Amino acid sequence: MPFATEPPRPHAPAERTAVILCNLGTPDEPTPAALRRYLAEFLGDPRVVEIPRLLWWPILYGVILRVRPAKSAAKYQSIWMPDGSPLKVWTERQAKRLLGHLGERGQSVLVRYAMRYGKPSIATVLDEVKAQGATRVLVLSAYPQYSGTTTASVIDAVGDWSATQRAVPELRFVNGYHDDPGYIDALARSVRQHWQANGRADKLVMSFHGVPERTRTLGDPYHDECQATGRALAQALGLSADQFLLTFQSRFGKAKWLEPYTEPSLIQLAGQGVKSVDLICPGFTSDCIETLEEIDMEARAAFLKAGGERFAYIPCLNDREEWIRALGDIALRHLQGWPTRVQAPVS
């Protein structure tokens, strides 16, 4: 009697490799209501505000979320683009261009972008790529310098999603690339291009996002990595120590943050007779509220009011060709050993 044949099984989805470019996030609209939702998620992250919840919640919900959304909404309105928030626009373009760049280099991978706070959330995008057959996921942080307040928070969000999954994809993380040659070269090219078009200022200021000083004493490498980026960029540009200044911006609250602070430093430079400055924000790979409003509007006004004569903001890398190439190199290094071709279906 012949053996019975096994009934046919549905084809398993082709296994894929995915790259998720993760940035900080942005409100959906430049309105107080949207800012309230966004700030509640952002400032509610214990990685961002390391204050015991019993002390922090009354401050956050009783004071900050009652006052700050309207002020922040006005700032976002001043920099909002036709296609939405600049951070979203540039991150989305980076992901699309990275997909094309990797395809030109013979790589068949899914590339998506996600936001740590706001939309599209990391969990949503992980759900999407998993549904498309991704069994291997590279999480590529948009933060060149590692910090527990940013990079580690992305890892937390991926871990929270993983805890809800029966079948968890293989996961890899790019924790930073503060001294990556391609990243440094892209920054240096942007500065040189600015100098060629506009002339060179008396001083180049490199402004990084600040974090509380205590994070450094607790072992966070962020400060050291910012310094290393600054030194590498200065070396690439052939600058001596007196031709550039590294500062930190975006203080929040009364605690001591990493110094020197950007705006007071600009005021001090003007008081010392420095007439012109060029300012670049190497820690931001996409222009956003911190670069377009805080730096190119507020910091500019402070420098000029203090006696400075010319202030030039050098835009973030955004979707510059040399940055997309560098981003592709970074991704490929971390994809090594994973198949990056569409696999044949398993029958």
Q: Which residue has the tokens 């019975």?
A: 4
> From the centroid of its chain, how far is CA 18?
19
* 307 φψ region: left (φ > 0), alpha (ψ -120 to 50), beta (else): left
Tokens of 269: 């430079």
Q: How far apart are CA 44 and CA 47, in angstroms?
A: 9
209 is known to lie in a ligand binding site: yes
Q: How far apart are CA 325 and CA 331, in angstroms?
A: 10
Those residues whose C-beta lies under 8 Å from the C-beta of residue 314, and which sit 6 or more positions away, are 190, 191, 194, 278, 279, 280
As to burial, measured by CB atoms within 10 angstroms (0-12 exposed, 13-18 middle, 19+ buried), residue 25 is: buried
At 152, the amino acid letter reads A
Asked whether the beta carbons of 157 and 77 are under 8 A apart, the reply is no
CA distances to 27, 71, 73, 87, 295 from 32, rounded to whole Å, are 10, 8, 5, 18, 22
* 233 φψ region: left (φ > 0), alpha (ψ -120 to 50), beta (else): alpha
At 240, the amino acid letter reads S
223 is known to lie in a ligand binding site: no
Bond before 69 cis per omega within 30 degrees: no
Asked whether the beta carbons of 206 and 282 are under 8 A apart, the reply is yes
Give binding residues for Fe(2+) as ranges.
Answer: 209, 290
Give binding residues as ranges.
Answer: 209, 290
